[in-house]
Amino acid sequence: MFQDPLDPNPYSQEYAQKLDEQDELGCYREQFYIKPDSIYLDGNSLGLLSKRAEKTLLEILEAWKTQGIDGWTQGQYPWFYLAEKLAAMSAPLVGASEDEVIVTGSTTTNLHQLVATFYKPQGNRTKILADELNFPSDIYALQSQLKLHGYDPAKYLVQVKSRDGRFLQEEDIISAMTDEIALIILPTVLYRSGQLLDIKRLTAEAHARGILIGFDGCHSVGSIPHSFSEWDVDFAFWCNYKYLNSGPGGTGSLYINRKHFGTSPGLAGWFGTRKDKQFDMEHQFHQAETAGAFQIGTPNILSMAPLIGSLELFTEANIEKLRQKSLHITQYFMDLIERELDGMGFMIGNPREDERRGGHISLEHRDAARICKALKEEQHIVPDFRAPNIIRLEPIPLYTTYCDVWETVQRLKTVMTEKQYEKFDNTRDVVA
């Protein structure tokens, strides 16, 4: 996709401009609402609004306004089938069949549903295996589920330790797959360091030991191609408001390997029934024969509406091409950081190898919190802070340019050389 331009100075702005001229995904930038004179690098927390997403949200509002309750079965996007339509659009992003995916709930409610379904302690197998670097919400959910079974999380939740506080070693995870483990929950990408785990290998190792395994894809789906069905992953769940740009609090998604179709959902609800039986109003649960069985309540139609337009962009752009640009632009970002910010106290805390790196740069500094504030207030760059010392910088392939990356490093250099960060406290805001 990219051929590095012949240029005597690969760190110049002209070089970045030449890279942008080559970028076949550059045309999608105009589809997004980007604040003038600012650089948005926080798409791994909340993706920007696209014009397509705005359009489909307004179309759903118009359907509600003009059709009322008939919007459930009529119009361009009948609400009764919207979760399945979005699932079909999402499936190629995770390497699944359409019926193995459903758009529903939120990340944590979907995790509760999946653990309630697949955590079946028997005999010696009573423990859940996770890791110590995972996002806290996942750990809260696992602790809660263990308590519901009468188990003390301090004893029955096994969390793989990190050797350095940044990364996990697959060997350590595999070593923890003992005959006491009933279920494994891991992230696809670590939210702080951006490490991409070897999902295929971990799944094979878990199954070789008779253990079910599921993955939290919040920090990878929409950024990294996956092959969940080919890898035989048991289940997965993810949000759609980060890389997939569905809007704040957007409805989540889950994947169920078809070999588990027919497994009774741990948390049954009305929308988990077969479509043809749902309005029979019987008190017998007629389970859907797809991943749709794991829905609980009525779909959040207005929350799902922007995802229609957003996924149209992903269908056109192609996840493989998005990943290719992501790897190239993050490597370019790291090269600039090492050259321009040398001696200023920064350390790149994400993996350097393509096959181990997610989509964001994890830049460590002891003054990370106030550097983030200075970037935002003084330089009009939107980064992301994660305790204790990480500046997350995410160049989104659909709307971040190489010139954005070049300019970010220059402005970050200004923040440091002019000590603009010293006027801010080194503490996080309420929402970091």
The binding site comprises 107-108, 135-138, 216, 219, 241, 270, 298
SS3 426: coil
* Cα(261)–Cα(288) distance, integer angstroms: 9
- The set of long-range contacts for 411-419, using a CB threshold of 8 Å and a minimum separation of 24, is 411/39, 411/375, 411/379, 411/381, 412/341, 412/371, 412/375, 412/379, 412/381, 413/340, 413/341, 413/344, 414/379, 415/371, 415/374, 415/375, 415/378, 415/379, 416/341, 416/344, 416/371
Binding-site residues from annotation for pyridoxal 5'-phosphate = 107-108, 135-138, 216, 219, 241, 270, 298
Dist. CA 381–CA 372, nearest whole Å: 9
Closest among 135, 185, 193 to 157, alpha carbons compared = 185
Inter-helix orientation angle 301-317/82-94, to 10°: 40
- As given in the structure block, the two tokens for residue 53 are 């997403």
Binning the chain into helix, strand and coil, the percentages to the nearest 5 are 45, 15, 40
Which pair of tokens denotes residue 378? 């003084």
Q: Which CA distances in Å does 388 have to 122, 341, 364, 368?
A: 39, 20, 9, 8
Sign of CA dihedral 162, 93, 329, 432: negative
Contact indicator for 180, 124 with CB cutoff of 8 Å: yes
Give kind and range of the element (H or E) at residue 154: helix 153-156
Cis-peptide into 10, omega within 30 deg: no
Instruction: Using the Cα atoms of residue 263, residue 264, residue 266 and residue 267 in order, give the sign of their dihedral.
Output: positive
> Rounded to an integer, what distance in angstroms lies between the CA atom of residue 276 and that of residue 169?
47
Quote the longest CA-to-CA distance of the chain.
74
Q: Whole-angstrom Cα distance, residue 225 to residue 27?
A: 21
